[in-house]
Every structure is written in C-alpha cells, then in structure tokens.
C-alpha cells in the first residue's frame, strides 16, 4: 500500500459523499445551484457571457430516474450517464452550467515579435508556469494596449481559475485580487465560476475528473491531455451542500497533513488510519461529528431517568451505592470541555453505567476444561472491538458480569476496551461497565476509547501502572442526548468501516 493509492481512495470517497456524514440541517445543494443560476443570468443580462444552447438542469424524478431539462424545454433520461448514486441533499450538474470556460488564443495570435518591454501601460501575458508554480507574478511577456484590444476576449480576472493545458497538464491556480491586467496564452484555459462559494470543491472535483479521465484513457494516472473542450463542459459533477463541502475540505486538509508526515517518515498507512480514527473520535466527543437536533430529548432528562433507575437497583440490592456519589455541575466559566453542544450534559461514568471491578478467583479454581464460567484476567483475548473466547474457566468467581458490557483494562496497558456479548467472570486486571438508561454498549465502547488518554494520565504504580475504582467511577464525560448518541455511533462505525476498507483495498 502507498500514499498515492490512499489519496485516490480518500478522494473517491469524498466525491461520492462517503467521507463525512450528511447533516439534514445543511442547506441543500439545490439552493446553492439556484444562486449559481441567478449569477449566471446576471452575467448574461450584463452582456458578459452568452446564453448557452446546451445549458440544462439535471433532476431526479419520483420514478428514481435522472433527467436533464434543456433550455428549449426538451427533457431526456440520462440514467446511463450517472456514475453513482448521491446522498440526500446533493445534486448533479453539468460543468458548463456552473462556470464559463475559455481556452487561450491560437498560437499565431500571440507570437514573440508582438512582445514589448514592461512599462506602466504594458499588458501581461500569463503562461502555463503561472498555473504550475501557483504564482501570478512569474513571466516577462507583455503586449501593447493596442494588441490587448484585439485579445480582450482572453482577459483574465481576479478569482478566475487558470488551467495548464500543455506540458504539465491540469495544474490549476486561483488568480488573486492583486493580479496585473493581462490575457492568457495558448497554453492556458480560463475558468470563471458563476458562484465562488464552491471554488474549493470545484477544484477538488476538477482534479479528480482529469485524473480519472487520464486513467481510463491511458491506463495510468499521468494526465496526457485536457478532454476536448465541448466534452469537458458536458461532464457531470456531483454538488454537495455548501456546509458539507467545507467539512469535506477540512477533513481532506487534515488527512493531507498526516499523509505528508507518513511520506516524510518510516510510518506506514496503518499510522494514518489510527490517526484518522482518533480524529473522528475527537470530533464525536466535542459534538462536531453529527448534527444536533432541537427536538432531541436533552441528555439531562436521560440522566434523571438513569438516576431513578439506579436508585431502584440500589434498593433492590442489585448494585451498591458509590462512596462518593455526587452530581456534576458545570460552572459559568465553562471549565469542563469548553461550551457543550445544545442538549448535552456532563456526567460521571458511575452515573451512566453499573461498574464492576474484577477480582481473581483462587488459583486452583481456574481450569482449561470448560468447567464453570469463562474467565478473563486481562486483555489477552481482546480484539479490535469484541472479546474473543478465553481458554480458561472458573467455578469460584463472584465477579460475573452481564452480557452487553464493556470491559476496561485497569492494569497496564491501561484504558484498552472491548465489548463482551456473554456472561463471563473477570479478574483484577479488568473492570466492566454495563450501560444504564437505554444507552447502547457501542456508545460506551466508543466513548471509553476516546477517553483512554485520561485513564492513562491517572494511572499510578511502580511495579505496574493501574487505575483505581474511584478513577473509573469519577471519570467525567460529555453526554449527548440519546438520539444523538445513536447518530454518533452510526457515523463513527460508518467512518471506521470506510477506513478499514481503505486498508483492505490497499493490501
């Protein structure tokens, strides 16, 4: 596996809407495209561009098929052109419908005899190296104001995108606000987006589209040629909601930093996957992975129900009251976790789970002949998520835990967790947390994984490090509403599945 393949895989997931979760509160891409069309109409009325006879609107009908409506009212089915299904809130659009494209003049239109020395009135000629080097100040070719009048149709403006079309193909550069007045030469293409809100995602797709086109045409990834102009403008582009575009670009930027670190070190792709999973978990515990829904029952109400349930279990003698039980109160200075998202609250682990600390049975009671109940002393049979079966059993353990609990290592290595789906006995190296109040075991698993660093920091000991019962009980966590917990778990597991798929496909 290599970082080049990994970049392409991540890019493919981004383009297909599988890299970041969708947020139902996002403004749909259809509204963004309405703004694009309004800007285009304005430019047409101002005489800056002409109406294109091939302009169209792509839509999906109730019969689940994709159609295209042309300016003359003609409607045709384009299912055979749709490469993949889009998530909710996304839209398909032709490249020609969202931008104006202009290739540089014929070679004979700008030749060396036409160039003049630089002066206050000289007009700059932009070259492909301006796109390749991402620098508008490079170059020393200039034309007179008179020649500029002949080539005015090739003028380039701030926020335009220039694309290299010869030699090094497909390099793009956004022209800054401070550019000198000038025209593009025959080795460049000018792209003017009708709405610059989507510039970053457009460039992402443009690069993706060119690389895929090159791979399909030449069995490689080197871009040999820009597709023919009229074909290029008819490519279909998937458009996410604007806010999702921003989330995609932010995550891609984070991933790129990690990939460059891998390339500059001897770390492998698995390092990237570990870091990516940690990033997703970090977003989750800060309430930035999925949307908050104002109709969700607040976590404080959930916590009240759990306290009632817990009191009933204590009165029934099924669990014991903690020695230092207390409610978590967040002060006005937001000293815990900064500003919690709406509907979230703070809780201790003992508030949301029944905690059982392990105790080792007499040594002579442990056997390997399946006599008694399955016994686990530490993490030897931990897997990535679910506990594997032990080869040891005991008849004399009083620390038998419920199925659908989370096991937490309390001795080195501290903080590692696994889900157990059956009754087992546990020894001193483990503790078990059984969720209360309809909180899922998967949520507790992911939350404890996110807080492993906290347990490690609180571990003490000389012969071996460990955490105490009170450390586990008193660990403070941010608690989302129950409905949001479910969305978080789904989003986390979808994200982890994608990352694991990346590794599998690159093996």
Whether 417 and 454 share a structural domain: yes
Averaged pLDDT score across all residues of the chain:
88
Whether 387 and 491 share a structural domain: no
The band of 219, judged by pLDDT with boundaries at 50, 70 and 90, is: very low
Whether 341 and 253 share a structural domain: no
Q: What is the CATH number of the domain that holds 328?
A: 3.90.220.20
Q: Is the pLDDT of residue 501 over 90?
A: no
**pLDDT tens-digit readout, 123-168:** 999 999 999 999 999 999 999 999 999 999 999 999 999 999 877 8
Q: Does any domain span residue 178?
A: no
At 299 the pLDDT is 94
The band of 355, judged by pLDDT with boundaries at 50, 70 and 90, is: very high
Percent of the chain scoring above 70 in pLDDT:
92
The rounded distance, in Å, linking the Cα atoms of 206 and 193 is 12
Mean pLDDT of 17-44: 92
The rounded distance, in Å, linking the Cα atoms of 137 and 116 is 17
Whether 430 and 338 share a structural domain: yes
CB burial string 203-240: b at 16+ within 10 A, e below: bbbbebbbbbbbeeeeeeeebeebbeeeebbbbbbbbb
Q: Please report how many Cα atoms fall inside a 13 Å half-sphere around the Cα of residue 191, on the Cβ side.
A: 26
Whether 360 and 459 share a structural domain: yes
At 254 the pLDDT is 86
- 358 phi and psi angles, rounded to 5 deg: -70, 160
Write out the two tokens for 89: 């809130």
20 in Cβ contact with 247 (< 8 Å): yes
Mean pLDDT of 69-84: 91
Using alpha carbons, list the distances in angstroms from residue 348 to 322, 336, 409, 476.
12, 12, 18, 4
Q: Does any domain span residue 107?
A: no
Q: Is the pLDDT of residue 336 over 80?
A: no
At 217 the pLDDT is 53
Mean pLDDT of 79-88: 93
Q: Does any domain span residue 72?
A: no
Q: Does any domain span residue 236?
A: no
At 188 the pLDDT is 94
Using alpha carbons, list the distances in angstroms from residue 101 to 156, 162, 191, 234.
11, 10, 5, 12
Q: Is the pLDDT of residue 81 over 50?
A: yes
Mean pLDDT of 16-43: 92
Range of the domain at 395: 324-480
Q: Does any domain span residue 109?
A: no
Whether 345 and 472 share a structural domain: yes
Q: Which helix (H) or strand (E) holds 77?
A: strand 75-77
Q: Is the pLDDT of residue 504 over 80?
A: no
Q: Cα torsion at 225, 226, 230, 233 (round to 10°)?
A: 150
Whether 496 and 474 share a structural domain: no
**pLDDT tens-digit readout, 162-188:** 999 877 888 999 999 999 999 999 999
The rounded distance, in Å, linking the Cα atoms of 46 and 35 is 17
**pLDDT tens-digit readout, 478-493:** 999 999 999 999 989 8
Q: Is the pLDDT of residue 79 over 60?
A: yes
Domain count, the chain: 2
At 330 the pLDDT is 55
Whether 257 and 331 share a structural domain: no
Whether 292 and 352 share a structural domain: no
At 54 the pLDDT is 82
Q: Does any domain span residue 430?
A: yes
Whether 343 and 420 share a structural domain: yes
**pLDDT tens-digit readout, 448-471:** 999 998 999 999 987 789 999 999
Q: Is the pLDDT of residue 319 over 80?
A: no
At 229 the pLDDT is 81
Q: Does any domain span residue 218?
A: no
The band of 333, judged by pLDDT with boundaries at 50, 70 and 90, is: very low
Whether 249 and 279 share a structural domain: yes
List the one residue out of 476, 467, 375, 482 whose CA is nearest residue 425. 375
Q: Does any domain span residue 100?
A: no
Q: Is the pLDDT of residue 40 over 80?
A: yes
Write out the two tokens for 387: 């506990």
Between 380 and 318, whose confidence is greater?
380
Whether 279 and 341 share a structural domain: no
The rounded distance, in Å, linking the Cα atoms of 53 and 42 is 17
**pLDDT tens-digit readout, 259-304:** 888 777 766 777 778 888 888 899 899 988 888 888 999 999 999 9
């Amino acid at each position: 596996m290599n970082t080049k393949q990994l970049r392409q895989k991540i890019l493919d997931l981004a383009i297909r809407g599988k890299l970041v979760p969708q947020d139902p509160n996002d403004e749909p891409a259809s509204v963004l495209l309405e703004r694009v069309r309004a800007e285009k109409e304005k430019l047409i009325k101002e005489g800056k561009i002409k109406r294109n006879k091939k302009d169209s609107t792509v839509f999906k009908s109730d019969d689940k098929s994709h159609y295209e409506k042309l300016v003359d009212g003609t409607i045709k089915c384009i299912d055979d052109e749709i490469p993949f299904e889009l998530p909710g809130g996304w839209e398909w659009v032709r490249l020609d419908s969202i931008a104006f494209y202009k290739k540089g003049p014929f070679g004979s239109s700008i030749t060396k005899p036409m160039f003049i020395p630089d002066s206050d009135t000289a007009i700059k000629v932009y070259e492909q190296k301006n796109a390749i080097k991402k620098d508008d100040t490079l170059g020393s070719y200039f034309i007179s104001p008179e020649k500029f009048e002949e080539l005015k149709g090739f003028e380039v403006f701030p926020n335009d995108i220039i694309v290299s079309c010869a030699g090094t193909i497909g390099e793009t550069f956004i022209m800054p606000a401070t550019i000198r007045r000038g025209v593009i030469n025959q080795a460049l293409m000018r792209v003017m987006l009708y709405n610059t809100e989507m510039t970053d995602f457009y460039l992402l797709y443009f690069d993706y589209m060119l690389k895929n086109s090159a791979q399909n045409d030449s069995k490689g990834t080197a871009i040999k040629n820009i597709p023919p102009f009229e074909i290029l403008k008819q490519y279909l582009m998937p458009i996410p909601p604007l806010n999702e575009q921003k989330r995609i670009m932010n995550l891609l930027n984070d991933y790129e930093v990690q990939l460059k670190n891998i390339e500059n070190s001897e770390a492998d792709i698995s390092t990237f996957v570990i870091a990516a999973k940690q990033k997703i978990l970090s977003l989750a515990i800060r309430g930035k992975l999925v949307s908050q829904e104002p109709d969700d029952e607040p976590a404080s109400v959930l916590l009240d129900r759990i306290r009632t349930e817990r009191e009933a279990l204590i009165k029934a003698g099924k669990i014991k009251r903690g020695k230092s039980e207390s409610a978590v109160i967040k002060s006005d200075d937001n000293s815990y976790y900064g500003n919690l998202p709406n509907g979230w609250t703070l809780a201790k682990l003992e508030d949301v789970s029944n905690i059982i600390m392990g105790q080792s049975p007499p040594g002579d009671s442990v056997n390997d002949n399946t006599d008694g109940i399955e016994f686990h002393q530490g993490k030897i049979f931990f897997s990535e998520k679910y506990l594997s079966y032990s080869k040891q059993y005991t008849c004399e353990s009083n620390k038998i835990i419920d199925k659908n609990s989370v096991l937490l290592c309390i001795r080195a290595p501290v903080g590692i967790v696994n889900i157990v789906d059956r009754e087992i006995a546990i020894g001193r190296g483990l503790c078990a947390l059984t969720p209360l109040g309809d909180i899922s075991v998967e949520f507790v698993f992911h939350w404890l994984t996110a807080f492993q660093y906290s347990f490690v920091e609180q571990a003490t000991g000389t012969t071996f490090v460990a955490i105490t019962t009170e450390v586990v009980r008193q660990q403070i966590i941010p608690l989302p509403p129950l409905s949001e917990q479910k969305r978080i778990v789904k989003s986390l597991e979808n994200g982890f599945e994608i990352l694991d798929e990346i590794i599998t496909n690159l093996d």
